[in-house]
Amino acid sequence: MNFRAIKAIYYFEMARTARTLMQSILAPVISTSLYFVVFGAAIGSRITTMEGVDYGSFIVPGLIMLTLLMQSVMNASFGIYFPKFTGTIYELLSAPISFVEIVIGYVGAAATKSIILGLIILLTSYLFVPVRIAHPFWMVTFLVLTAVTFSLLGFIIGIWADGFEKLQIVPLLIITPLTFLGGAFYSVNVLPPFWQAVTFFNPIVYLISGFRWSFYEVSDVSVAISLGMTLAFLFACIAIIWWIFRTGYRLKN
């Protein structure tokens, strides 16, 4: 394992975050704070509790997950797309490093940035609502697994995309709607039976449900199922990346 190469890629990507601090950190935190004001204050005044939890506190895991999913995908996709756009990807592919080291460097940096941002939003939430973390270990586990999984998905999108427009398609048109419809701001149990059944086809439901359980011990599905779905998605992304580097899809041409 070429740890020097991994460190070089990792530090380069982390330095890019420092150069765009306003866009990378401050903007998502400000956006999430507005969610607290709108959903926590305006809607929370009409919906006092959800599943026995104060509504303002109930939406905290959903807001963290919403930001985590979006930032993981966007950080990883932009990270690998720019070398393709500038042509430096060929220097990377011809260097004496394996695709595993390339993926660890880019995905590790994207996941680290997302985790830091998620923790900042968690701390920010204490300014608005009371937050209780019943299972800190599982909270961190779901946080890390989700960040890594969606950073891998972003890496795949960055390789697949052949233009800046395509980098935005999946995060804005697929992940964001699925997150809003995945129980980020409500419990699936409040839906009619038919829509509950439809909602369970949304993979984001399992991520948010397991993450919320680690806070308040309330969930829409079994925690074991949530963890299993997260791991299944993780291994599916790893398999796709392995196939991409084996075949050279969108890399060698």
pLDDT tens, position by position, 182-213: 888 888 888 888 888 888 899 999 999 999 99
Q: Are 25 and 117 in contact (CB under 8 A)?
A: yes
pLDDT above 70 for 44:
no
Residue 42 domain boundaries? 3-247
Asked if the structure places residue 206 within a domain, the reply is yes
H/E stretch holding 82 reads helix 60-86
| DSSP annotation of 135 | -
Whether 157 maps to a domain, the answer reads yes
pTM: predicted TM-score of the whole model, two decimal places: 0.91
- Model pLDDT for residues 128-141, shown as the tens digit of each residue: 888 999 999 999 99
Higher-confidence position of 7 and 167: 7
pLDDT of residue 248: 81
125, 63 Cβ separation under 8 angstroms: yes
Q: For residue 253, is it within any domain?
A: no
Q: Which of 183, 188, 155 is nearest to 170 (CA)?
A: 155
Residue 80 resides in a domain: yes
Task: In whole angstroms, give the CA distance from residue 148 to residue 183.
Answer: 21
Vertex 248: Cα angle to 245 and 251 (nearest 5): 100
Please indicate, yes or no, if residue 242 is contained in any of the structural domains: yes
Quote the number of domains for the chain: 1
- Distance CA(27)–CA(33), nearest Å, equals 10
CA distance 98 to 91: 13
| CA 148/CA 146 separation, integer angstroms | 6
pLDDT number for residue 23: 66
DSSP state of 116: H
